[in-house]
Amino acid sequence: MSAPGAKPSGPAANASLFGASRRVAVRVPVPVDSLYDYAVPPELEPLAAGDLVRVPLGKRVELGVVWGEGAADVPETKLRPIQERVDAPPMTQPLRDLVDWCAAYTLAPAGQVLRMALSVPEALDPPRPRTGYTPQVADLAETTLRVTEARQKVLEAARRWPPSEPPPTAADLARRAGVGAAVIKGLAQGGALAAVPVVEDPVIAAPDPHRAGPTLSPDQAYAADALRASARAGFSVTLLEGVTGSGKTEVYFEAIAEALAQGRQALVLLPEIALTARWPDRFQQRFGAPPAPWHSDLPRAQRRDIWRAVAFGRVPVVVGARSALFLPFPDLGLIVVDEEHDSAFKQDEGVPYNARDMAVVRARAGDLAVVLASATPSLETVLNARAGRYEHLPLPERHGGATLPAPGLVDLRAHPPEKWDRQGVPAPSFLAPPLLDAMAETLRNREQTLLFLNRRGYAPLTLCRACGHRLQCPNCSTWLVEHRHRRVLQCHHCDYRTPMPERCPSCDTPDSLAPCGPGVERLAEEVAARFPQARLVVAASDTLIGPTAAAELVERIEQGAVDIIVGTQVMAKGHHFPLLTLVGVVDADLGLAGGDLRAAERTFQLLHQVAGRAGRAQRPGRVLMQTTDPEHPVMQALAANDPERFLSVEAETRRALMMPPFGRLVALIVSGLDESAVSAAGKALARCAPSAEDMEVLGPAPAPLAVLRRQHRHRLLLKAARTVRVQPLVRDWLAAAVLPPGVRVKVDVDPYAFL
């Protein structure tokens, strides 16, 4: 692969300075694996590895990163020159190592991974100057301007502006003087103020690592000391395993304080939805300043400011979603991955990487400590801890003597829900009598109930009572989900939306369409009918819109302004509501259906987390889980409150099947608009599949989600022993296959999604 005028080069040398060399290898953020050689013009010498440069690539100019010395196999005269060196701190060696490592592991082109590390290229441009105003006269009488009170106030404000601060903007002055912005313009035109360009980066408040934290319990103090020691010591991975409410956050805050005290930066990765919770507030309470946030919903301008501030070393602590791992910290000293088991750390689009695993890679490259925190750690992490590869710090008790409730199972076969009356029309119910009784009691005690149902919308399926027709997405092989409060049917995969039809689209019968099964909206309807006096809220990702909606709701719940919360997984994690004493899981079996590799593990983790929201303060909590299969090992482990037992059973099952973490999986997803081409491509891949004793290839078969956004999809799965290095095998496999045009193959190493 060769860009016009640039030559792919061999592996980069380790030398960090190559003043003597007139050529360097540059990585560019485009989806190729190769490095390209460029000539270094004399005025740019010497360049060092990590330097950010602009280079010609085809007809464009691209940002690039000097990766090493060039390969000496092209005459210097044929190389195109580097255009410019960008005036910004170089990309550090650990981040460059992460890019290479991530690309090699996921089989994504290294340039595509680099793009994640240069995600806001405009952040490298100097900040746009804004206009500030400085006073030119001591008194308005020195000008020809008419003297008004507003003008005098503004001039006064400008004269009193502290010289240590950058000159005020028109908005600053207007605010200070309590006048409209037009007054400032007038003063500038009349010569009383001078407009000056101000180039200045936004100021970021620094957290104070020396503020006192809470008094820790002996268990917490022991774990905190151990983490402080790790934060001083170089590469290590520690599993901080504490029951829900044990104070994991307070404990790892101590490790952050240690990293900050050493003048280094700290990064905390949270699953995206947990960012909406109170984490930043708690951090601010502990350290006196907020952390810098990083996630995909931030406005572009804020991302630009934060990226730039991180690169220039002005941000001590970032709390972010998985992509924060690729931020350009100059001297990262600690990474915390909170809720490390969460599958939100696995990215499925673009580069399919797992941020939890790549955090360990980043830490090794930078010789720093990683803390993996969870109440329900993943099987992978637990086995690493048991094998001694990771340190293990347990926190076995809830803080402040709060007890961990043991969930009760409500057998739906023995206690079927009774129909409720919807204005004279009997409607199906989703709440069994034992749960309803518990809710009534909780309400009488003026305590709160969380009803957990991990399904957005009103009903997951709509069907015609006359002909049985089911309303399906035109682009995907999925049912449309009714969202009654927005009056639409929606596809949760491609976001297709259509109004609810009045007649069945198939048989044209009017008023024949009926909802099937509950979503949170339908459940809330039943709750409102049964407990009309209760203050009820529905909390799902699509009912909490906007950056402050979730925080506002959390505050209302904390203040006791809500009695019953009907929520999806946005309510499952991280929250601490003192009055919440009852958690009802409406359909505990939901996540087990479909049964992929991690269905049992995910269900256990999620329901254990949800259960952990109950009884976190003085008042004891109660958890009821409705199930049709109380004997299921997951239900039994939940009822026994015994993650260890669950993981042991789960580990044995996986070991017997040679499934991860005892074996390796690589998924190949073949997709395209033409079904026969996709099917042919799947077969072509199967024909040249690698074969050996310690591996097998399953498929091709149509994917469970056989059509997604009009693309037909077939899947193959390579399953290999742990000892097999799968990446070179897959690379050769793909190179050998001849595929019809219009078909795409996506490689997913260590897949989490099997749809």
Q: Select from 9, 220, 378, 603 the one that contacts ligand ATP (CB under 6 A).
A: 220
CB of 608 to ligand ATP, least distance (A): 10
494 binds, among Zn ion, ligand ATP, none (CB under 5 to 8 A by kind): Zn ion
Q: How far is CA 326 from CA 91, 95, 153, 414, in A?
A: 11, 7, 48, 52
Give 126's DSSP letter.
P
Q: Is 722 in a helix, a strand, or coil?
A: coil
Which among Zn ion, ligand ATP, none contacts residue 626 (Cβ within 5 to 8 A by kind)? none
User: Least CB distance from residue 578 to ligand ATP, whole Å?
Assistant: 8
Q: Is 750 in the site for ligand ATP (CB under 6 A)?
A: no
In terms of CB distance, is 254 or 521 closer to ligand ATP? 254
- Rounded Cα gap, residues 287 and 264, in angstroms: 15
Q: 429 or 581, CB closer to ligand ATP?
A: 581
Beta bridge partners of 484: none
- Say which residues have a Cβ less than 8 Å from residue 111's Cβ, sequence separation at least 6: 27, 28, 29, 30, 31, 32, 33
**Contact with ligand ATP (CB under 6 A): which of 100, 241, 250, 521?**
250
How near is the Cβ of 753 to Zn ion at its closest, in Å? 16
Using CB atoms, what's the residue nearest to ligand ATP?
247
DSSP string, 446-497: T-EEEEE----SSBSEEEETTT--B-B-SSSSSBPEEETTTTEEE-TTT--E
- Residue in 375, 592, 610, 720 binding ligand ATP, rule: CB under 6 A: 375
- Residue nearer to ligand ATP on the CB measure, 341 or 576: 576
By the rule CB under 6 A, 242 interacts with ligand ATP? yes
**Shortest CB 703 distance to Zn ion, Å:** 14
Cβ proximity of 38 and 6 under 8 Å: yes
Residue 217 lies near ligand ATP (rule: CB under 6 A): yes
Binding test (CB under 6 A) with ligand ATP, winner from 27, 96, 151, 248:
248
372 binds ligand ATP (CB under 6 A): no
Stretch in the footprint of ligand ATP (CB under 6 A) among 147-155, 210-218, 512-520, 722-730: 210-218
* Residues 268, 272, 277, 281, CA torsion sign: positive
Instruction: Name which of 51 and 250 has its Cβ closer to ligand ATP.
Output: 250
Q: Which stretch binds ligand ATP (CB under 6 A): 48-56, 123-131, 245-253, 432-440?
A: 245-253
Cβ 242 to ligand ATP shortest distance, Å? 5
493 binds, among Zn ion, ligand ATP, none (CB under 5 to 8 A by kind): Zn ion
CB of 575 to ligand ATP, least distance (A): 8
Distance separating alpha carbons of residues 634 and 590, to the nearest angstrom? 12
> CB–CB of 616/576 below 8 Å?
yes
Binding mask of the shown chain, residues 380 to 409, with x at each position contacting ligand ATP by CB under 6 A: -------------------x----------
Q: Does 92 bind ligand ATP (CB under 6 A)?
A: no
Cα torsion 533, 436, 581, 569: sign:
negative
Contact 634, 592 (CB under 8 A): yes
What are the residues binding Zn ion (CB under 5 A)?
473, 475-476, 491, 493-494, 496
CA dist 142 and 159 (Å) reads: 15
Q: Which does 249 bind (CB under 5 to 8 A by kind): ligand ATP, Zn ion, none?
A: ligand ATP
Judged by beta carbon distances under 5 to 8 A according to partner kind, the member of ligand ATP, Zn ion, none in contact with residue 612 is ligand ATP
> By CB neighbour count within 10 A (0-12 exposed, 13-18 middle, 19+ buried), where does 164 fall?
exposed
- Token digits of residue 691: 């074969």
Among 44, 195, 216, 755, binds ligand ATP (CB under 6 A): 216
Interface with ligand ATP (CB under 6 A), residue total 18
Q: Quick one: 375 or 681, whose CB is closer to ligand ATP? A: 375
**CB under 8 Å to 302, separation ≥6 — which residues?**
none
Cβ(380)–Cβ(354) below 8 Å = no
Give the Cα-Cα-Cα angle 218, 219, 225 (nearest 5 degrees).
Answer: 85
The closest of 338, 337, 392 to 359, measured between CA atoms, is 337
Residue ranges for the known binding site for Zn(2+) are 464, 467, 473, 476, 491, 494, 504, 507
**Type of residue found at 276:** T
Cα 463 to its chain centre, rounded Å, is 35
Helix (H), strand (E) counts: the chain: 19, 32
C-beta neighbour count of 128 within 10 angstroms: 8
Q: Is 576 in the site for ligand ATP (CB under 6 A)?
A: yes
| Residue 627 binding partner per list ligand ATP, Zn ion, none, with a CB distance cut-off of 5 to 8 Å that depends on partner kind | none
Give whichever of 17 and 221 is closer to ligand ATP, judged by the CB atom: 221
Binding to ligand ATP in span 590-619, by CB under 6 A: 612
Binding site for ligand ATP (CB under 6 A): 214-217, 220, 242, 244-250, 375, 399, 574, 576, 612
